Chains A and B, each alone.
Chain A
Amino acid sequence: MGLKDKFASFRETLPAMPLAAFFVAWFLAPFVLLLFISLFDTPEFQSIGLRQYVKFATDGFSTGVLWDTLVLGFACTAVCLLLAYPLAIVYVEGGAQRRTLILFLVMLPMLTSAVVRTFAWIVILGREGIVNNAMLALGLWGQPGRLLYSWGGLVVALAQIQLPLMALPVINSMLKVDPSLMDAAEGLGAGRWRRLWTVIVPLTLPGTVAGALLVFAASTTAFITQSLVGGGRIILMPLNIYQQAVGVQDWPFAAALSIIFTLSIVAITYLVNSVARKRMRGIDAA
């Protein structure tokens, strides 16, 4: 690329520069500062070292919290995928009316606040909630089950709250699958399951990966839902960071936790992307 081309491509991106400046000042710089503060050994900012990171690895509590948070992210992503995929198939196969209905249902939770949805799950899972009342009325359970403040309840609630993030990209990439490929597979004698695994799944990988990463990121950092549906018993990274920063006022440790949390998410995103990219050469990105 010649100097003239370089200049042309720079001039082309000129309208993006104000936002770029905003992001450098208020997004990149804060993360650099966060990294810097995590290198102080004490909350009084005296000496510099890696003590906070050693503390994270050895205090016997923090690594478990990180692990739980990542497992929660994986579980929510799996549940979302299981629900969103059939929904997208039914969407794509349906007529205009059904498509509008499904799109409305998918958008609905996005249009109501996450706190509202979390609150709904408290009503549904609570001691006098819908699930408990139904189970008692049907005589399936002898006494109200403890659904709030449990891992199962948290995974289901988070998955429902993040479902639109998964459904939209999956629907979009399923719309791009060339129908003649499906017809060809059908003509060659492939049943519906076989067409699903050999045609739809590989071709919708870009949307699936995009959705999975969004759900993973959103469910690991969903502070409100985690603290209200999970209760005080289930401690995850966001609550841990909040307690260290605001409760204990240990900024260097909170900063180190944030850096480790961020890097874990970035590493997983990078890993998933690079594995997926090998498998989806030639497929139009979502």
Chain B
Amino acid sequence: MPLRALAGRADTGFPKGHAATSESGALSTHGPRDATVNSIGKRSRLGDLAYVGVIRGIAAFAMVLLLAPTVVVLITSFTGEQTLKFPPPTWSLRWYGELLHSGELIDAAWTSLKIAFWATLICGVLGTAAALGIARSRSPLARLLDSLFMSPMVLPAMAFGLALLMVFSLLSVRLSIWTLTIGHVVICTPFVIRMVSAAVQQLDVALHDCSLSLGASRFYTLRRVTLPLIGRGVFAGCFVAFLTSFDHVPVSLFLSDARTEVLPIKLWQILEASLDVRVAAVSGVIVIVTLVGLIVAQRLFGRGVGVAERR
């Protein structure tokens, strides 16, 4: 199931019911210590109740907080008004209709999709190869490369965007979707590395060795044994890379110009100028398309990988 693969790990964990040994009754054979044990037991039961209340309360709040913005955007996008009043006083599909006539938004979305496609393709191929090379190795070189590939996730993307702009202007390269793609490949690589590495580490080396000792070539083993087994990790990495690129702003801020406007920056400019309700409709489209994409991927890909694993 891709959802689990995205989270990077299979489910194992505390079993639901622990052996209930803390009940004071279980210790009652100790005679003289009974009284103290009982009072501690009572106090800790109160504490335990408070614990459950506090933890569950915060967790419930966190869950509402995670869900609320997406729901709010979806509801707002069906407003019939000019303002972002919530809940909307009247309902209509007019803002989705407006989108069809917003050429500049469609162009920006198209540019973003093209960049996300190429960036995902490049970092999917290079990143998967790299993860296969370094995920199992404990050599200093492999550790160094791993830190290098993960660092775009921690270093400020604004600084990287500015640095890349300086490189392109020094080389007098004209900004285009290719300069943007180069920046996005660097930004998206950590996700592919992380998820493919997790998959490679869970891979049973014996299968790889068996294939080689039975006379399969390295390439055949890669194609028929390794890649099918890490396929889910590769897919999850590419999926997140695509979304990251589609959504990325700081690097694009420096590398896009009037001809290569990307969607998130276009939306930002619209929002800076006025709180245009069209943005809600665009958001609605993004949310719905991503959810449908996830469900379709789960149907198609989740099952396919499952079959590969059963063989």
One of B181-189, B208-216, B303-311 contacting the partner: B181-189
A9 to B139, CA, bound (A): 6
Q: Nearest Cβ distance between residue B129 and chain A, in whole angstroms?
A: 4
From B50, B51, B142, name the one whose CB has the most chain A CB atoms within 10 angstroms.
Answer: B51
User: Whose C-beta in chain B lies nearest to the C-beta of A26?
Assistant: B182
Is residue B246 within 8 Å, beta carbon to beta carbon, of the partner chain? yes
Q: Is B21 a contact of A186 with CB atoms below 8 Å?
A: yes
Q: Nearest Cβ distance between residue A88 and chain B, in whole angstroms?
A: 8
Q: Is B170 a contact of A33 with CB atoms below 8 Å?
A: yes
Per-position binary interface string of chain A over residues 24-56, scored 1 when its CB falls under 8 Å from any chain B CB and 0 otherwise = 001111110110010000000000000000000
Q: Is A16 a contact of B134 with CB atoms below 8 Å?
A: yes
Q: Is B14 a contact of A179 with CB atoms below 8 Å?
A: yes
Q: Is A13 a contact of B142 with CB atoms below 8 Å?
A: yes
Is residue A255 within 8 Å, beta carbon to beta carbon, of the partner chain? yes
* Choice from A31, A100, A179 contacting B13 with Cβ under 8 Å: A179
Is residue B80 within 8 Å, beta carbon to beta carbon, of the partner chain? no
Q: Nearest Cβ distance between residue B283 and chain A, in whole angstroms?
A: 4
Q: Which residues of B contact A119 (CB under 8 A)?
A: 73, 267, 271, 279-280, 283
From B9, B151, B158, name the one whose CB has the most chain A CB atoms within 10 angstroms.
Answer: B158
Within A166-206, the residues touching B (CB, 8 Å) are 167-168, 171-172, 174-175, 177, 179, 182-183, 186-187, 189-193, 196
What bracket does the count of chain B residues touching chain A fall in?
35 or more
Is residue A248 within 8 Å, beta carbon to beta carbon, of the partner chain? no
Q: Is B154 a contact of A261 with CB atoms below 8 Å?
A: no
Is residue B106 within 8 Å, beta carbon to beta carbon, of the partner chain? no
Q: Nearest Cβ distance between residue A216 and chain B, in whole angstroms?
A: 9
Q: Nearest Cβ distance between residue A81 and chain B, in whole angstroms?
A: 11
Main secondary structure of the interface of B (DSSP, over half): helix
Q: Is B264 a contact of A115 with CB atoms below 8 Å?
A: yes
Q: Nearest Cβ distance between residue B213 and chain A, in whole angstroms?
A: 18
Within A117-154, the residues touching B (CB, 8 Å) are 117, 119-124, 126, 128-130, 133
A279 to B76, CA, bound (A): 47
Is residue B133 within 8 Å, beta carbon to beta carbon, of the partner chain? yes
* Choice from B13, B159, B247 contacting A113 with Cβ under 8 Å: B247
One of B53-61, B91-99, B227-235 contacting the partner: B53-61
A124 to B67, CA, bound (A): 13
Q: Is B72 a contact of A124 with CB atoms below 8 Å?
A: yes
* Choice from A19, A30, A133 contacting B149 with Cβ under 8 Å: A19
* Choice from A112, A133, A179, A261 contacting B70 with Cβ under 8 Å: A112
Is residue A254 within 8 Å, beta carbon to beta carbon, of the partner chain? yes
Q: Which residues of A contact B287 (CB under 8 A)?
A: 111-112, 116
Q: Nearest Cβ distance between residue A46 and chain B, in whole angstroms?
A: 17
Known: A90-B56, A93-B14, A241-B162. A109 touches B137 (CB 8 A): no
Q: Is B159 a contact of A111 with CB atoms below 8 Å?
A: no
Q: Is A16 a contact of B130 with CB atoms below 8 Å?
A: yes
Is residue A89 within 8 Å, beta carbon to beta carbon, of the partner chain? yes
Known: A30-B167, A34-B162, A179-B13. A192 touches B51 (CB 8 A): yes
* Choice from A99, A107, A114, A193 contacting B249 with Cβ under 8 Å: A114
What bracket does the count of chain A residues touching chain B fall in?
35 or more
Is residue A269 within 8 Å, beta carbon to beta carbon, of the partner chain? yes
Main secondary structure of the interface of A (DSSP, over half): helix
* Choice from A92, A128, A254 contacting B86 with Cβ under 8 Å: A128
* Choice from A15, A108, A238 contacting B67 with Cβ under 8 Å: A108
Q: Which residues of A contact B189 (CB under 8 A)?
A: 19, 23
From B8, B45, B249, name the one whose CB has the most chain A CB atoms within 10 angstroms.
Answer: B249
Q: Which residues of B contact A87 (CB under 8 A)?
A: 58-59, 62-63
Q: Is B155 a contact of A238 with CB atoms below 8 Å?
A: no
Q: Is A269 a contact of B154 with CB atoms below 8 Å?
A: yes
Is residue A59 within 8 Å, beta carbon to beta carbon, of the partner chain? no
From A19, A22, A87, A128, name the one whose CB has the most chain B CB atoms within 10 angstroms.
Answer: A19
Known: A116-B287, A123-B86. A103 touches B3 (CB 8 A): yes
Is residue B141 within 8 Å, beta carbon to beta carbon, of the partner chain? yes
Known contacts A115-B283, A193-B51; 20 further A-B pairs (Cβ under 8 A): A12-B137, A12-B142, A31-B159, A86-B56, A112-B286, A113-B243, A113-B286, A115-B271, A120-B68, A163-B66, A179-B18, A183-B18, A191-B51, A192-B44, A224-B249, A242-B158, A255-B166, A258-B163, A265-B154, A265-B156
| A-B residue pairs, 9 tightest by C-beta | A120-B69, A191-B44, A30-B163, A258-B159, A15-B133, A16-B133, A9-B139, A16-B130, A34-B163
A contact residues vs B (CB 8 Å cutoff): 9-10, 12-20, 22-23, 26-31, 33-34, 37, 82-84, 86-87, 89-90, 92-96, 99-100, 102-117, 119-124, 126, 128-130, 133, 160, 163-164, 167-168, 171-172, 174-175, 177, 179, 182-183, 186-187, 189-193, 196, 213-214, 217, 220-221, 223-224, 227-228, 237-238, 241-242, 245-246, 251, 254-255, 258-259, 261-262, 265-266, 269
24 A/B residue pairs, CB under 8 Å, sorted by A? A12-B133, A15-B132, A22-B126, A23-B148, A23-B186, A26-B167, A33-B167, A105-B63, A113-B246, A115-B247, A115-B267, A116-B282, A119-B271, A123-B73, A164-B66, A167-B62, A168-B8, A172-B7, A186-B21, A186-B22, A190-B22, A224-B268, A241-B158, A262-B155
